[in-house]
Chains A and B, each alone.
Chain A
Amino acid sequence: MASEGDRRADLEVDEPRRSRILGALGSGGGGARAVAIALLSTIVFVVVVVVVVGNSPGWPAVHKGFFSWTYYKSAFPETARAFRLNVEIFLIAECLILPFALLIAVLRSLPGPVFFPFRALAIMYADFFRGVPTILMIAWLGFGVPGLQISGVPTSTTFWAVVALVLIYSAYVSEVYRAGIDSVHPSQEAAARSLGLTRGQTLRKVILPQAVRRVIPPLLNDFIGLQKDTALVGILGAVEAFQQTEIDTAATFNFTAYLVAATLFVAITIPLARFTDWLIARDRRRRQAQGLFA
């Protein structure tokens, strides 16, 4: 029981955190000196990289083939249009994964012998779909199911690609949820049950809110992975950003379109990362502010 307090101390970092990137910059007496050293070493590093890469025998060809501004401008509109499909797949899949994975995680955490079949099913599900390569799953469902030609079953490849992504990523995300559920101390459940709350009420109001809050950063990590994996849908022939760059490079013999696609993906994932940071910081601030003034 005494570990409760220690655990909380580990989770709550009350001191303002120092940026990992900036390190000791600006703290202590040698602040200006530290900044100067950091600046100098950065300049030296950049100069070395530029000189080494710029003087390599193949650089002029690579520069023209992969980093051409002219091709960048011409490839951008088409790729950006195709990228809409990536975003759509991402958004639809995410909305399905969040509740579905939670269901899997909850099934797996049900106690007692009665729920054994559910637990077994959830474990088998997670084991299987985490093990199968995403690209295989997409190919199987995207080519296989429409090939069955059953009437009434959707034949859209995009539809089945989304299903494949949901199945694969739910397996990952359910494990993240489960880690969160396991991290909530059993005394929380005891407290809730002792007040006469049912098992379901305890899960909904006490366990899951704490569990989900703790796993937001790893959840986001999985969603960045999902956002990138939407490019795999291209193997089915759907013209998403990566497929569009393939069309482009085949027509122009210039690979700058890849850079366009990369820019678009990064433009989505970086704000996503900052948004999560903001959510976490807001939650911490809210809890601290209450304590100071209440």
Chain B
Amino acid sequence: MNTAAALEIEGLRKSFGKNLVLDGIDLSVGEHEVVCLIGASGSGKSTLLRCLNLLEPVDAGRILVAGEEITRRNVDVNRVRRRIGIVFQAFNLFPHMSVLENVTLAPRLALGQSRSEAEQQARALLDRFGLSDKVEAYPDHLSGGQQQRVAIVRALAMQPRLMLLDEVTSALDPELVAEVLDVIGELAAGGMTMVIATHEMGFARDIATRVCFLDGGVILEQGPPEQMFGSPREPRTQQFLQRIVSAHRL
């Protein structure tokens, strides 16, 4: 693990009303690390990612990105978010904009890039991920896999230091999952620091430098994928993986 942590989480707590979702999360993610969050639905994976992007206010604890605390008061959330890309399960592309407009919107508005500059960069990224023929298309007319790849490109266009992926293949038809996972694999190979919430255990095993099992609002167990999937210590982890295996998902 790298000493200069890209992301540091200390004692993060978050509840919705009386429902305690995160009960003290501690996690350190080094540069170029790919951390996969696994756990049952409702174990807090998505909430954790949304907290990291300040889409949800945290109740207690600290989050540091590249050494800077982003949970302190009066932090410029827009500046923080520009460095952290997030991709959602439901893509959330802007349906009234073409692919090119979707990708160039934030660089132009938030980074102040000129139209030509932003478009040049967008076309290069779309080309790199096999979407160059969809530049003028509208989201409604793309397959789920294409939409999700556009969403990833849209986040990458902000040149983030950290990418958060929230079950990005869960809304896809099975035959479309691979094209999205390939893109993520390419990002990992390129050294992108990522935190990935996923139900794709095979994918997590292949891509993760570390796997964290969330249960009851805490990281119950973490380690390299070989250990986590080969010989997990905790009974809860074993139980969870057992269910995954019997559902033929590993």
In the complex the two chains form, is A290's CB within 8 Å of B98's CB? Answer: yes
Assuming the contacts A1-B171, A287-B141, A294-B141, asked whether A193 and B90 have C-beta atoms less than 8 A apart, the reply is no
**A285 vs B53: C-alpha distance when bound (angstroms):** 37
Interface residue? B96 (CB, 8 A): yes
Within 8 A of A (CB), among B86-108: 86, 88-90, 92-96, 98, 105-106
- Contact, CB under 8 Å: B88 / A1: yes
Asked if B138 CB lies within 8 Å of chain A CBs, one says yes
The residues of B that contact A12 with a CB separation of less than 8 Å are 140
C-beta contact mask, B217-232 vs A, less than 8 Å → 1, else 0? 0000000000000000
A8 and B140 form a contact (CB under 8 A): yes
Inter-chain residue pair count (beta carbon < 8 A): 94
Residues on the B chain within 8 Å of A191, using CB: 88, 92-94
A19 within 8 A of B: no
A187 to B50, CA, bound (A): 12
Query: Which bracket fits the contact residues of A?
Result: 20 to 34
Known A-B contacts A4-B90, A210-B96, A290-B137; the reply to A194 vs B55 at CB < 8 A is yes
- CB contact list, A80-130 vs B, under 8 A: none
Bitwise interface map of A from 1 to 26 toward B, beta carbon under 8 Å scored 1, else 0: 11011001000100000000000000
In the complex, A154 Cα to B176 Cα: how many Å? 67
Sorting the interface of chain B by its residue count into under 10, 10 to 19, 20 to 34 or 35 or more gives 35 or more
If A195-B110, A197-B109 touch, does A213 touch B96 (CB 8 Å cutoff)?
yes
Contact of A292 among B84, B98, B141, B158 (CB under 8 A): B141
**Which of B2-10, B12-20, B75-83, B182-190 touches A?**
B75-83
A83 to B79, CA, bound (A): 56
Give the distance in Å from the alpha carbon of A198 to the alpha carbon of B105 in the complex.
12
Whether, in the assembled complex, A262 has its beta carbon less than 8 Å from a beta carbon of chain B, the answer is no
CA distance A163 to B86 in the complex (A): 47
Closest Cβ neighbor of B134 among chain A residues? A294
B24 nearest CB across to chain A (Å): 25
Of A205, A213, A287, which contacts B140 at CB under 8 A?
Answer: A287
Partner of A195, one of B89, B96, B154: B154
Query: Chain B residues with Cβ under 8 A from A288's Cβ?
Result: 141
Residues of A within 8 A of B59 (CB): none
- The answer, yes or no, to whether B136 is at the interface (CB within 8 Å) is yes
B90 CB, min distance to chain A CBs, angstroms: 4
Q: Is the CB of B98 within 8 A of A195?
A: no
Q: Which residues of A contact B50 (CB under 8 A)?
A: 190
The answer to whether residues A195 and B140 also contact, given A1-B89, A1-B171 and a CB cut-off of 8 A, is no
Q: Is the interface of A mostly helix, strand, loop or mixed?
A: helix
Which residue, of B78, B111, B171, has the highest number of chain A Cβ atoms within 10 A? B78
B133 within 8 Å of A by Cβ? Answer: yes
Contact of B81 with A291 in the complex, beta carbons under 8 Å = no
A271 interface residue (CB < 8 Å to B)? no
Binary contact track B49-85/A, C-beta < 8 Å → 1, others 0: 0100101000000000000000000000111011011
B109 and A194 contact, CB distance less than 8 A: no
Does A188 touch B at the CB level, under 8 Å? yes
Among B92, B136, B154, contact of A190 (Cβ-Cβ < 8 Å) = B92
B36 at the interface (CB under 8 A from A): no
Indicate if B155 sits at the interface (CB-CB under 8 A): yes
Q: What is the CB-to-nearest-CB distance from B154 to chain A, in angstroms, rounded to a whole number?
A: 7
What are 22 inter-chain pairs, A to B, with CB distance below 8 A? A1-B171, A4-B90, A8-B140, A12-B140, A188-B94, A190-B55, A193-B81, A194-B81, A195-B105, A195-B154, A195-B158, A196-B81, A196-B110, A197-B78, A197-B106, A197-B110, A210-B96, A213-B96, A288-B141, A290-B141, A291-B137, A291-B141
What 13 new A-B contacts, CB under 8 Å, besides A2-B90, A194-B53, A197-B109? Answer: A1-B90, A4-B92, A193-B78, A196-B78, A196-B81, A196-B106, A196-B111, A197-B106, A205-B105, A287-B138, A290-B98, A290-B137, A291-B141
* 6 shortest interchain CB distances as A-B pairs: A291-B141, A294-B137, A196-B82, A195-B106, A191-B92, A196-B110
